[in-house]
A and B are shown apart, each in its own frame.
Chain A
Amino acid sequence: MEILEKIIEMNGLIFAFLFVGLIMLLSFWISKNLLRGKIPGAAIAILIGLGLAFLGDEKGISDIPIFAGIAVLGGSMFRDFTIVATAMSADISKIKQAGIAGIISLFVGITITFFTGALIAFLMGYSDVVSITTIGAGACTYIVGPVTGTALGASSEVIAISVATGVVKTIFTTIITPIIAKKIKLITPHDAVVFGGLIGTTSGVVAGLAATNEKLVPYGALTATFYTGLGCLLCPSIFYLILTFLNNYVI
Chain B
Amino acid sequence: MKIYGVSLLAACFLIGKFLGNLLGKIININTDVGGVGFSMIILIVSSIYLKKKGWLIPETKKGVLFWSSIYIPIIVAMAATLNVKAAVSGGLVAVLAGIITTIFCMMLVPLLSKIGSRDKISKK
List the interface of chain A (C-beta within 8 A of B): 16, 20-21, 23-24, 42, 45-46, 48-50, 52-54, 56-62, 67, 70-71, 73-75, 78-90, 92, 97-101, 104-105, 108-109, 112-113, 116-117, 120-121, 124, 126, 135-136, 138-139, 142-143, 146-147, 150-153, 155-169, 172-173, 176-177, 180, 184-186, 188-191, 193-195, 197-199, 219, 229-230, 232-238, 240-241, 244
Contacts and interface: CB of A to CB of B under 8 A. Distances in A.
B27 to A, nearest CB: 7
Contacts of A180: 106
B36 to A, nearest CB: 4
Contact of B76 (A24, A84, A156): A24
Interface string B78-119: 111111111100111111111111111111111011011101
Contacts of B76: 20, 23-24, 45-46, 48-49, 74
B44 A90 contact: yes
B11 to A, nearest CB: 11
B105 A113 contact: yes
Contacts, number: 348
A85 B33 contact: no
Contact of A159 (B38, B40, B82): B82
Contacts of B12: 84
Contacts of A169: 98-99, 101-102
A173 B92 CA distance: 18
Secondary structure type dominating chain B contacts? helix
Nearest to B87: A160
Contacts of B80: 49-50, 52-53, 60-62, 67, 70, 74
Contacts of A53: 79-85
A89 B68 contact: yes
Given A84-B9, A87-B44, A157 B106 contact: no
A92 B48 contact: yes
Query: Is the interface on chain B under 10, 10 to 19, 20 to 34, or 35 or more residues?
Result: 35 or more
Given A54-B85, A198-B106, A229 B37 contact: yes
A24 B43 CA distance: 28
Nearest to A46: B79
Contacts of A157: 82-83, 86-87, 90
5 contacts: A24-B76, A90-B40, A101-B112, A160-B83, A168-B97
A88 B97 contact: no
Contacts of B95: 168
Query: What 3 A-B pairs come out closest when comparing CB atoms?
Result: A233-B37, A168-B98, A74-B77
A88 B106 contact: no
A81 B9 contact: yes
Given A88-B61, A108-B112, 4 more contacts: A16-B77, A45-B73, A98-B121, A113-B101
Given A168-B99, A184-B109, A50 B79 contact: yes
Contacts of B85: 53-54, 57
A60 B121 contact: no
A155 B89 CA distance: 14
Contact of B78 (A74, A120, A167): A74
